[in-house]
Structure 1
Amino acid sequence: MKSIIRHAEKTIIRIASEYPAVLVTGARQTGKTTLLKKITEQKSVPYLSFDDPAEELSAKNDAKTFTEFHQAPFMFDEIQYVPELFRYLKIEIDKNRNTGMYFLTGSQQFHLMEAATESLSGRIGIVQLYPFSQRELRGDDFSEPFIPTREYLLERNSTFINAKTEFSIQKTWKSIHRGFFPEVALEKVTPNDFYANYLKTYIERDIRKLTQVADELQFMQFISVVASRTSQLVNYSDLADECSISEVTAKKWLSLLVTSGLVYLLKPYAVNVEKRVVKTPKLYFMDTGLAAYLTKWTNPEVMQNGAMAGAFFETYAVSEIIKSFANAGLEPPVYFYRDKDKIEIDLLIEQNGTIFPVEIKKTASPDSNDAKNFFITSRLKNVKIGQCVVLCNTSSIVSLSKNGVNALAVPIEFV
């Protein structure tokens, strides 16, 4: 079984050299513990998991004494179970402030982030870990975030040409259908078995503990409905009606999916634009395999030609771009543009006062019509417009021109 090098590893090592504590957070089963143990074992750092009820009880009963008997450096796994510990970690850090004192993981973000940032402000670096990226799975050591400058595209083009990479649409759709959670991506378990157990564990261990969900079957229906809306504008009324719940409940439940790392809300770009733009975010499932399981797409061939093919391809592209920033320890500077005439650009990436517009198309034969909406960037004021790109299943970079805008069609593998 090949070993997958996680791109976040260098980021975590760097942050641990800068801060007394580092927290690796994210959804369940993304590989947080495996990655952090790999790093800490090289430093002979002791390990303890609060998945063990006895350890959890010990820390909760007397967090001060517990901390005193577990001197830094130390790795604490699943620390969300004992938020009481954070204030005592702060005390220990302030006694003898060194870097790399505590290595923490936590999968439930509902209260974890608040507790960590309040107690350890200025003392902790936080890394969000998502499931594998496609880069990681193919052994691509390129770890820069996706910002499609000319320099970035030239470097990626050179890399793939030199490696004589063969682009495979079938492989891409197989990955989209299977998903990127480590257990599934490494084919240790079938997608159906993994996702069925994953959802059961997620509801029983996270949702039941942290919020009041009166009807778990109804909540499962809600997750499935949200998955069917991936890459669409959030419509709380529609979600509520579909699941026979109130809009207030729909907002609360979607918030749970977002804070647990399963769903990402992409904000509309609203700086220096006219008032015609929409203010509603778009939602994306962060793992296409989980979304495929929930929406009952049985195989990649059917999915590729199905009614949701465009939505899944867009979800895949957006999630890969988000991972490229998160693995580098950066908050993704990503937005979308849509006005009330329904003219939309799928993604706007902001970097140093420059906006890079990105359209996402599942086509393997891009043409100028795929770049037709880029003209709308003229409505973005006081910013520089960078290279416009169309991410798609092309096997090479192709020049496109429409409405006076020059764009490039770019292989999805360049992300």
Structure 2
Amino acid sequence: MREGIDYLPRRAAERVTDAMSDTRVIVVNGARQVGKSTLAEKVLREHGGVGRFLDDGVTRAAAAADPSAFVQHDGLMLIDEVQRVPDLWLEIKYLVDRNQRPGQFLLTGSARLLGLRSLPDALPGRSETVELWPFSQGEIDDAPDGFVDAAFAAGAELRAEPSELRKKDYLARAARGGYPEALRRDSPRRRARFFDGYVADLIARDVKQVADVERASDMRTLVSLLAAQTTGLVSYNRLSGDLGLTAPTVRKYLEILETVYLVRTVPAWSANATTRAVATPKVFFVDSGIAAHLGAGEGALLENFVLGELARQLTWSETFASLHHYRDRDQYEVDAVLEDNARRVVGIEVKAAETVRAEDFRGLRLLQRKLGDQFHAGFVLYTGRESFSFGNGMTCLPISALWTC
């Protein structure tokens, strides 16, 4: 691992810079400790301006006491962890409604800000949100991170360079995760200390900031249950029985875990041609290192790893696409379904094996039969070395194709 992991270039930086040229308020949103402040400070140094950091008690008290005076400035103002003083939101809205100059505010937050009940209003038409995830593999390895664009551009003709990685290497990468602090720690034991403290702190602090949760132990149990079934379909009734809570309460708790960027749900994909599709979402952890720490099995961990890399790429890819999964009542399934604005579909299956068989394309071929020309390509990502065509729009690629293409 290279030194200075916090200062590795982030793909989100280009999005922030672009937004500065035509948008009044830029919000960098993401999980705690993914490097939002580091990125924002770098932008501030490049553009000039003033920085305000609400983790500092005096600064936070001043913002709460006189939010109108706090936001007055020339040029660019960075407000770090803006959700800590919700009253700032209306003052920012007031200012940018009267001055349409781009690049006035750069805000960071550790929760999905517009989902917080404490924020009084949104900024439609005035702001752009840039999501910052834990490091991608391409950011860590200085690799292209271009699979999403390449898959839609080349379709089943896409090929990747032979990979030197094997199953154990992919599992090690998944267990390492992408948080800067975890990447700095060479020892798995020391990383485990980080992950354990991270989850505990998130539940103790961030969850309470978002919503009233009477028993933190229930939330911790839910996190463990989700890890045991990561990338599986979400059964609110089963989780309700395991936790002794009502299904609506479980649903609310899961929404909270999404708001604080611990997990992400993947909606089910369906179309008129696939009427037997199951509408249940599935869930994965924003960082695969946490999923590994909480005991996710090998197959589920690798799928979590792949879903996370895809979700990261969708925040910067030139292709505007959405991430779904597919499963029907006949047990056909596809781990990831990407659909672009032209309604072209790319299906992706994840296999922990170092070999691929024709039957591994079973779910992909079903989608292809049902969708016809709408189906653009099907890929099986596996832990082997080579790329091969399996005919009729189907290809297997090493998992490393996600960041090397």
Common fold by TM > 0.5: yes
Provide TM-score, normalisation by structure 1: 0.88
CA contact 1:7–1:143 (8 Å) conserved in 2: no
> 1:194: how far off?
0.8
CA contact 1:146–1:321 (8 Å) conserved in 2: no
User: 1:65-99 deviations in whole A, cap 9, x for unaligned?
Assistant: 2222x444110000011221122212222333211
CA contact 1:268–1:338 (8 Å) conserved in 2: yes
1:344 match: 333
Match of 1:411 among 374, 398, 401: 398
CA 1:339/1:141 → structure 2, altered by over 3 Å: closer, same or farther?
closer
CA 1:74/1:12 → structure 2, altered by over 3 Å: closer, same or farther?
same
What are the equivalent positions in structure 2 for 1:109-128 lying under 5 Å apart? Answer: 109=112, 111=114, 118-128=121-131
In 1, the alpha carbon distance for the partners of 2:159 and 2:42 equals 29
> 1:373: how far off?
2.1
CA contact 1:337–1:346 (8 Å) conserved in 2: yes
1:139 aligned to 2:129? no
1:315 match: 304
In 2, the alpha carbon distance for the partners of 1:329 and 1:98 equals 26
Match of 1:384 among 341, 350, 374: 374
CA contact 2:349–2:381 (8 Å) conserved in 1: yes
In 2, the alpha carbon distance for the partners of 1:124 and 1:13 equals 13
Q: Which segment drifts farther, 320-329 or 235-244?
A: 320-329
In 2, the alpha carbon distance for the partners of 1:414 and 1:153 equals 13
CA contact 1:232–1:283 (8 Å) conserved in 2: yes
1:58 match: 62
Matching residue's letter, 1:368: A
Tell me the SS of whatever aligns to 1:100. coil
Match of 1:365 among 355, 358, 375: 355
1:26 aligned to 2:11? no
CA 1:250/1:105 → structure 2, altered by over 3 Å: closer, same or farther?
same
CA 1:338/1:62 → structure 2, altered by over 3 Å: closer, same or farther?
same
1:96 aligned to 2:85? no
1:177 match: 175
Matching residue's letter, 1:366: V
Tell me the SS of whatever aligns to 2:389. strand
Matching residue's letter, 1:80: Q
In 2, the alpha carbon distance for the partners of 1:231 and 1:61 equals 45
CA contact 1:13–1:39 (8 Å) conserved in 2: yes
> 1:395: how far off?
1.3
> 1:205: how far off?
1.6
Aligned length: 395
Tell me the SS of whatever aligns to 2:52. strand
What are the equivalent positions in structure 2 for 1:2-401 lying under 5 Å apart? Answer: 2=4, 3-68=7-72, 70-109=73-112, 111=114, 118-143=121-146, 145-146=148-149, 148-149=151-152, 151=154, 157=160, 160=161, 166-187=164-185, 190-295=190-295, 308-328=297-317, 332-351=321-340, 352-378=342-368, 380-381=370-371, 384-401=374-391
1:300 match: none
CA 1:336/1:15 → structure 2, altered by over 3 Å: closer, same or farther?
same
> 1:242: how far off?
1.6
In 1, the alpha carbon distance for the partners of 2:155 and 2:60 equals 47
Tell me the SS of whatever aligns to 1:232. coil
User: 1:327-380 deviations in whole A, cap 9, x for unaligned?
Assistant: 449875111221111111112111222111111111111121211222312464
Matching residue's letter, 1:43: H
CA 1:47/1:217 → structure 2, altered by over 3 Å: closer, same or farther?
same
CA contact 1:356–1:387 (8 Å) conserved in 2: yes
In 2, the alpha carbon distance for the partners of 1:115 and 1:125 equals 20
Provide TM-score, normalisation by structure 2: 0.90
Which ranges of structure 1 fall in alignment gaps of 5 or more residues? 298-307
> 1:281: how far off?
0.6
Kindly report the root-mean-square deviation, in angstroms, between the aligned alpha carbons of the 2 structures. Answer: 2.5
In 1, the alpha carbon distance for the partners of 2:150 and 2:248 equals 37
User: 1:238-292 deviations in whole A, cap 9, x for unaligned?
Assistant: 1122222221221111111112221111111123234321111111112111112
1:305 match: none
Matching residue's letter, 2:327: R
CA 1:197/1:135 → structure 2, altered by over 3 Å: closer, same or farther?
same
User: 1:149-206 deviations in whole A, cap 9, x for unaligned?
Assistant: 363776763xx46xxx633433221111121111102327821121122122212221
CA contact 1:129–1:327 (8 Å) conserved in 2: no
Matching residue's letter, 1:171: D
> 1:136: how far off?
0.8
Q: Which has the higher contact order (CA 8 A, sep 6+)?
A: 2
Q: Which segment drifts farther, 278-287 or 265-274?
A: 265-274
CA contact 1:80–1:112 (8 Å) conserved in 2: no
CA contact 2:332–2:362 (8 Å) conserved in 1: no
CA contact 2:24–2:126 (8 Å) conserved in 1: yes
In 1, the alpha carbon distance for the partners of 2:276 and 2:292 equals 34
In 1, the alpha carbon distance for the partners of 2:345 and 2:51 equals 44
CA contact 2:234–2:280 (8 Å) conserved in 1: yes
Q: Percent identity?
A: 26
In 1, the alpha carbon distance for the partners of 2:150 and 2:330 equals 28
